[in-house]
Chains A and B, each alone.
Chain A
Amino acid sequence: KNEVEQSPQNLTAQEGEFITINCSYSVGISALHWLQQHPGGGIVSLFMLSSGKKKHGRLIATINIQEKHSSLHITASHPRDSAVYICAVIFYNTDKLIFGTGTRLQVFP
């Protein structure tokens, strides 16, 4: 069964903390996306990756194909990072994006 699991579901942090959000999936994938959704609904694509590691500013995404696991790290977190972070994958055996349930992050000053 094609499943995507994210952890934790909710995360609170103090400004400046290092944050890690995890995404695990059940079978082989073609690509994995990390998305950010702010209150009000707008979604921004943060990363798309199929191997290795990508970095953009304070955000780092890694993926381990063998372990079927990806992590999104936020260094020096800031209140403006407060959002829902969603992992989405395309499994080899389907052409459709399957989404995780999201991780709600709140960063307090």
Chain B
Amino acid sequence: KAGVTQTPRYLIKTRGQQVTLSCSPISGHRSVSWYQQTPGQGLQFLFEYFSETQRNKGNFPGRFSGRQFSNSRSEMNVSTLELGDSALYLCASSSASGTGGLAGLNEQFFGPGTRLTVL
């Protein structure tokens, strides 16, 4: 089975711009979670999508949004970029089910990440 893929792997943007990152989960996985990793804050949970619905969200401003498509592929969008948004953005998929099977209660399979630099 192919692993989780993320595109692009590297991205450079300037303040005020917006960015869209893409994540393709492992085939058959319907849960996709997004995480932000920075040197200062470490790893932080952004949100989780299951069957095209956001079912969990971390403590991030509304500039961070996401969506999931019918084929389980997910995108996250950051609008009005700030310098502090520079980070490694990771997505993970899991075989979490719809019946209360939150992603964190199942093994997570991580993608290689997208490294975003905001200048």
Chain A interface (Cβ < 8 Å from any Cβ of B)? 30-31, 33, 35, 40-45, 48, 86, 88, 90, 95-102
Cα distance A21–B43 in the bound complex, in angstroms: 18
- Contact of B115 with A by CB under 8 A: yes
12 example contacts (A-B, Cβ-Cβ < 8 A) are as follows A31-B104, A35-B108, A41-B115, A43-B110, A45-B108, A45-B110, A86-B43, A90-B105, A97-B108, A99-B42, A100-B42, A101-B42
What 3 A-B pairs come out closest when comparing CB atoms? A99-B43, A43-B110, A90-B104
B102 to A48, Cβ gap below 8 A? Answer: no
- Contact of B106 with A by CB under 8 A: yes
Q: Number of residues in B with C-beta < 8 Å to the partner?
A: 24
Cα distance A48–B102 in the bound complex, in angstroms: 13
B93 to chain A, nearest CB (A): 11
Cα distance A100–B109 in the bound complex, in angstroms: 18
Chain B interface (Cβ < 8 Å from any Cβ of A)? 33, 35, 37, 42-45, 56, 58, 88, 90, 92, 102-110, 112-113, 115
Cα distance A99–B1 in the bound complex, in angstroms: 28
A42 CB contacts on chain B under 8 angstroms: 110, 112-113
A99 CB contacts on chain B under 8 angstroms: 42-45
A95-B56, A95-B102, A96-B56 known; A45-B107 Cβ under 8 A: yes
Contact of A45 among B42, B44, B109, B113 (CB under 8 A): B109
B105 to A30, Cβ gap below 8 A? Answer: yes
Contact of A97 among B104, B107, B109, B112 (CB under 8 A): B104
> What residue of chain A has the Cβ atom nearest to residue B114's Cβ?
A41
B44 CB contacts on chain A under 8 angstroms: 99
Cα distance A45–B102 in the bound complex, in angstroms: 16
A88-B43, A95-B56 known; A41-B112 Cβ under 8 A: yes
> What residue of chain B has the Cβ atom nearest to residue A48's Cβ?
B107
B105 CB contacts on chain A under 8 angstroms: 30-31, 90
Known: A44-B110, A102-B42. 20 other contacts (CB 8 A): A30-B104, A33-B108, A41-B88, A41-B112, A41-B113, A42-B113, A43-B92, A45-B109, A48-B107, A88-B43, A88-B104, A95-B56, A95-B104, A97-B45, A97-B103, A97-B104, A98-B45, A99-B42, A99-B45, A101-B42
